[in-house]
Amino acid sequence: MSLTNASPADAAQAAKSASHILATLSAEARNEALTAMHDALAAARDEILAANARDLELARQAAADGKLSQSLVARLDLGKKGKFDDMLKGILDVRDLEDPVGRVTLRTRLDHGLELERVTCPIGVLLIIFEARPEVIANIAALAIKSANAAILKGGKESTESFVAISRVISAALDKTHVPNDAIQLVTTRDVISDLLSLDRYIDLVIPRGSSDLVRHVKNSTRIPVLGHADGLCALYLDPSADPALAAEVVVDSKTNYPAACNSLETLLVHDAALSTLLPGVASALAAKGVELRCDPASKAALAAVPGLKLVDATDADYRTEFLNLTLAVKTVAGVDEAIAHINAHGSHHTDCILTSDAQQAERFMAGVDSSGVYWNASTRFADGTRYGFGTEVGISTNKIHSRGPVGLEGLMIYKYKLRGHGQVSATYGEGEGKKRYLHERLPLEH
Amino acid sequence: MSLTNASPADAAQAAKSASHILATLSAEARNEALTAMHDALAAARDEILAANARDLELARQAAADGKLSQSLVARLDLGKKGKFDDMLKGILDVRDLEDPVGRVTLRTRLDHGLELERVTCPIGVLLIIFEARPEVIANIAALAIKSANAAILKGGKESTESFVAISRVISAALDKTHVPNDAIQLVTTRDVISDLLSLDRYIDLVIPRGSSDLVRHVKNSTRIPVLGHADGLCALYLDPSADPALAAEVVVDSKTNYPAACNSLETLLVHDAALSTLLPGVASALAAKGVELRCDPASKAALAAVPGLKLVDATDADYRTEFLNLTLAVKTVAGVDEAIAHINAHGSHHTDCILTSDAQQAERFMAGVDSSGVYWNASTRFADGTRYGFGTEVGISTNKIHSRGPVGLEGLMIYKYKLRGHGQVSATYGEGEGKKRYLHERLPLEH
């Protein structure tokens, strides 16, 4: 790892060269580097926490002056119970995942002695732009080394002292390993984001980790592919056949388990036949958790007699709003097709759910909704790489190519085709007389 | 299929809506549409060829006036022997490929009665920008319907009469099928490309089919992901251990089989120990096919005594040039690592080859070269979807994400996660006391 004051272009070019070496390292060499990184960080805990304390001091002053939010100060604090240990454990967790590099995903015999193989390989150079959490730097460095991608890291200025301290420790540790120094670079120069985002010649993928404003800004400022999502506008459709207790439980969890999360519920679509049967129970359960409902006229009328609800008239904008708090938009629909159309037009293609006991309705919904996650009778909150069993999460993507939904290490990989021959030439093959035909024989993936 | 004079935004929005319907059609419904399309085009041969003759007439006049190239006129001619029949057969070939939609690629039991499934689905709306070949419209419509993607087609103005005729026939044929009319749209309005390229809200992927200038222009003009390659700067590294006859054959095929193709050889890298042993034979074989060699001093000196060669001093620019004709740049390198570094720095990450009898050198080369195709003892000309056995080719991609190398139907697909539960909520699971653990049990892909 290097802590660079080089120009963005020089840093990116160096990262590209390093990526070509990193791509050829064995899994053992990459795992050893992760162990070295872990051990060095564990040994340098005091020094890193001291640096973090200096960041915190400044941040607290800024917060007191009203220039910084308290929640940002909290995110900055690496000394909080368990946080440093979690960071260390995260490195070993990533190390112990299955190696994503060099997996054979297709093998075809084109002709005798001419075999095509499709093999996973790293994408190349990642640019990770993140905000205040200092532990992200260790997490990202681990993911990059495990996946054999080089990475350029650009963190928020509030964590500079912490980043520099962590980066020095990682750098010294990696020096004794086979990972080239330029493979992981921390850019500390100010105001370089737009320069970095223009370097599509060297940088292959941008991963913004932070607020939806950050993601939106990055997406609008670069031609490099961006992995992530700006919004999580998740909807749930309540079919009349849903079980009432199940409906209340799933809606409450989806909305209130962690309202600020991207996989939390923002819009409830209710079949008109469920307005008087299911909605009152669901609404009461939500009200018990403090949720305010923004209702269309039909749903509001259906709830008029229910005591203890916070009801507000919905506007059109409410159906396009990611509230990220205890507010839920409610809308009446005539059936599953209207629900699907509403979600496809208003949603953010993140995660959407149907509650029903009718399998046909469920399958229709899951086929028709154009989102990365389509759920039947399960909370939208399950949309998460760790919950999906990926071991780690790079982010959640609402892109329509490459990776969609929670992205694990696989999302940092691409593939190459290896063709091994014995001097075969293309002129030999074809449809004409005297020409050979291709065999195109599918071979087992393992030798 | 509709022939639209709607605004680009309206056309794209209509395509998006149609894509959501198309995505839910069965394989049978999509295949029936392809049969209907084929039959209608076969029946309308005379009418289409008459329209094509009108395009040709204008094009021949333009060519006579020096305003159009003769090769473009040739590409325009749908009446050329076999061309119409190839177009028809292409539709049935695509129809008969394995259905790419709804393939399960991951199944995980998160908990009892809570199963996660990753299923392939179409990307959404494709924008295909192409130049003069009128048969492309049928080919693209077939690929889009087979893969359940909606497509907006924008063709070159020289083929307008042919496009309109083909599009009318396809439109009438699809009217009797389940494929929504707006799923395939031909835009005939002029000067709308920049408008279309700004519609990232509706269009998910752009596929430019034509010259590298077209591809470069499109890549530089949009934030929508672009599938394709601007350049094919393929290199071959000649190791001293290569078999001399094999070397001559593979280099000649790579360079001369079809010099204008993107998978043709442009740079020959020669190990210095092979300059006097292998290079003379290779150079003579190339000269016999009329190839001019642009040599660095060392390779020129090694060839000085060989009769019948066309030798020119190479400039730096020659090693970055896609000649697309019978010119080949030759450069001496000290070994495989220098060859890898040269290719990674100068190449276009398309297809590169090593000729050697040393397996270790070959594997080192294939691991180190950052290209979509890395070949050992085989012609670079094999880089092609049909030759790889994909049945069809959407294009060849040098992108680092999503699809790389020759792209078949698979490259037009993404996936979604379906989660089927029985009312599970996220609050139940976790590390704390009284919380359930996820099972994360990998399930077989087939039920």
Domain boundaries, chain B: 2-219, 234-382
Interchain pair B417, A379: CB under 8 A: no
Residue A396, SS3? strand
Exposure string over B303-330, b if 16+ CB within 10 A, otherwise e: beeeeebebeebeeebbbbbbbeebbbb
> From CA B155, how far away is CA B144, in angstroms rounded?
16
> How remote is the C-alpha of B300 from its chain's centroid?
36
Interchain pair A20, B124: CB under 8 A: no
**Minimum-distance CB partner of B388 among A116, A374, A400:** A116
Residue A5 reports pLDDT greater than 80: no
Stretch among A82-86, A263-267, B105-109, B273-277 having the lowest mean pLDDT: A82-86
Which of B221, B426, B440 is the best residue to mutate to test the A interface, defined by the most A CB atoms within 10 Å of its own CB? Answer: B426
Interchain pair A419, B371: CB under 8 A: no
Residue A138, SS3? helix
User: Which residue from B365, B354, B387 is spatially nearest to B251, judged by alpha carbons?
Assistant: B354
A169 contacts A247 by C-beta, under 8 angstroms: no
> How remote is the C-alpha of A71 from its chain's centroid?
21
Cα angle value B245/B378/B408 (rounded, 5°): 160
Pick the most confident of A211-220, A388-397, B252-261.
Answer: B252-261
**Minimum-distance CB partner of A376 among B20, B252, B421:** B421
- Looking at residues A260-264, what average pLDDT do you find? 94
The CA-to-CA distance between both ends of chain A, in Å, stands at 36
Cα–Cα distances (Å) from A284 to A236, A252, A293, in that order, read: 17, 10, 11
- Topology given in CATH for the domain delimited by B2-219: Aldehyde Dehydrogenase; Chain A, domain 1 (3.40.605)
Positive or negative CA dihedral for A203, A209, A215, A221? negative
**Minimum-distance CB partner of B387 among A110, A223, A421:** A110
For the domain A234-382, what is the CATH code?
3.40.309.10
Interchain pair A378, B423: CB under 8 A: yes
Residue B127, SS3? strand
Could you tell me the pLDDT band of residue A428, with boundaries at 50, 70 and 90? very high
The alpha carbon of residue B366 is apart from the nearest alpha carbon of chain A, in Å, by: 7
User: Which residue from A158, A200, A173, A212 is spatially nearest to A34, judged by alpha carbons?
Assistant: A173
Interchain pair A110, B419: CB under 8 A: no
Interchain pair A225, B225: CB under 8 A: yes
Interchain pair B416, A205: CB under 8 A: no
Beta bridge partners of A265: A234
Contact list, A422 vs chain B (CB under 8 Å):
246, 377-378
Instruction: Please give the full DSSP string across B55-72, using - where no structure is assigned.
Output: HHHHHHHHHHTTSS-HHH
Stretch among A220-234, A241-255, A300-314, A399-413 having the lowest mean pLDDT: A220-234
pLDDT digits over A307-361, tens only? 999 999 999 999 999 999 999 999 999 999 999 999 999 999 999 999 999 999 9
Over chain A, what is the mean pLDDT? 94
**Minimum-distance CB partner of A368 among B24, B245, B375:** B24
Nearest Cα residue in chain A from B221: A223
B234 contacts B353 by C-beta, under 8 angstroms: yes
Exposure string over B375-406, b if 16+ CB within 10 A, otherwise e: bbbbbbbbbbbebbbbebbbbbbbbbbbbbbb
Interchain pair A425, B367: CB under 8 A: no
Contact list, A382 vs chain B (CB under 8 Å):
110, 114, 419, 421, 424, 426
The alpha carbon of residue B300 is apart from the nearest alpha carbon of chain A, in Å, by: 26
**Minimum-distance CB partner of B379 among A246, A415, A424:** A424
The alpha carbon of residue A341 is apart from the nearest alpha carbon of chain B, in Å, by: 9
> From CA B349, how far away is CA B372, in angstroms rounded?
6
> Exposed, middle or buried: residue A258 (CB in 10 Å: 0-12, 13-18, 19+)?
middle
The alpha carbon of residue B246 is apart from the nearest alpha carbon of chain A, in Å, by: 5
pLDDT value, residue A69: 85
Which of B104, B400, B422 is the best residue to mutate to test the A interface, defined by the most A CB atoms within 10 Å of its own CB? Answer: B400
The alpha carbon of residue A339 is apart from the nearest alpha carbon of chain B, in Å, by: 13
Q: Residue A443 is encoded by which pair of tokens?
A: 């071979």
Contact list, B225 vs chain A (CB under 8 Å):
225, 400-401
Whether the full predicted model's pTM is greater than 0.90, yes or no, is yes
pLDDT digits over A100-147, tens only? 999 999 999 999 999 999 999 999 999 999 887 888 889 889 999 999
**Minimum-distance CB partner of A372 among B373, B377, B416:** B416
Q: Which residues of chain B have pLDDT under 50?
A: none
Could you tell me the pLDDT band of residue A364, with boundaries at 50, 70 and 90? very high
In the Cβ-directed half-sphere of A87, how many Cα atoms lie within 13 Å? Answer: 27
Interchain pair B420, A114: CB under 8 A: no
pLDDT digits over A404-421, tens only? 999 999 999 999 999 999
Contacts (Cβ under 8 Å, ≥6 apart) of B213: none
Which of B125, B222, B424 is the best residue to mutate to test the A interface, defined by the most A CB atoms within 10 Å of its own CB? Answer: B424
Interchain pair A423, B23: CB under 8 A: no
User: Which residue from B133, B50, B139, B53 is spatially nearest to B88, judged by alpha carbons?
Assistant: B139
User: Which residue from A34, A36, A225 is spatially nearest to A144, judged by alpha carbons?
Assistant: A34
Contact list, B252 vs chain A (CB under 8 Å):
425
Q: Residue B101 is encoded by which pair of tokens?
A: 């939609």
Q: Residue B140 is encoded by which pair of tokens?
A: 């693209």
Which of A251, A340, A393, A419 is the best residue to mutate to test the B interface, defined by the most B CB atoms within 10 Å of its own CB? Answer: A419
pLDDT value, residue B426: 96
B12 contacts B202 by C-beta, under 8 angstroms: yes
Beta bridge partners of B169: none
> From CA B397, how far away is CA A68, in angstroms rounded?
45
Which of A127, A426, A428, A439 is the best residue to mutate to test the B interface, defined by the most B CB atoms within 10 Å of its own CB? Answer: A426
> From CA A38, how far away is CA B1, in angstroms rounded?
58
- Length, in residues, of chain B: 447
User: How many inter-chain contacts (A to B, CB under 8 Å) are there?
Assistant: 225
Q: Residue A17 — φ and ψ, nearest 5°? A: -60, -45
The alpha carbon of residue A152 is apart from the nearest alpha carbon of chain B, in Å, by: 17
> From CA B443, how far away is CA B107, in angstroms rounded?
5
The alpha carbon of residue B388 is apart from the nearest alpha carbon of chain A, in Å, by: 7
- Looking at residues A144-153, what average pLDDT do you find? 96
pLDDT value, residue B447: 64
pLDDT digits over B138-162, tens only? 988 999 999 999 999 998 888 999 9
Positive or negative CA dihedral for A318, A319, A321, A327? positive
> Exposed, middle or buried: residue B220 (CB in 10 Å: 0-12, 13-18, 19+)?
exposed
> From CA A385, how far away is CA A411, in angstroms rounded?
11
Exposure string over A117-156, b if 16+ CB within 10 A, otherwise e: bbbbbbbbbbbbbbbbbbbbbbbbbbbbbbbbbbbbbbbb
pLDDT value, residue A447: 64
pLDDT value, residue B177: 97
| Ramachandran bin of B156, using left for φ above 0, alpha for ψ from -120 to 50, beta for the remaining angles | beta
Beta bridge partners of B27: none
Total Cβ atoms within 10 A of residue B32: 18
Total Cβ atoms within 10 A of residue B433: 5
> Exposed, middle or buried: residue B195 (CB in 10 Å: 0-12, 13-18, 19+)?
middle
**Minimum-distance CB partner of A24 among B367, B375, B388:** B367
User: Which residue from B401, B403, B230 is spatially nearest to B320, judged by alpha carbons?
Assistant: B230
> From CA B5, how far away is CA B20, in angstroms rounded?
22
**Minimum-distance CB partner of A373 among B364, B382, B419:** B419
Cα angle value B34/B32/B16 (rounded, 5°): 70
Nearest Cα residue in chain B from A371: B416
Interchain pair B382, A416: CB under 8 A: no
Which of A424, A437, A441 is the best residue to mutate to test the B interface, defined by the most B CB atoms within 10 Å of its own CB? Answer: A424
Contact list, A219 vs chain B (CB under 8 Å):
223
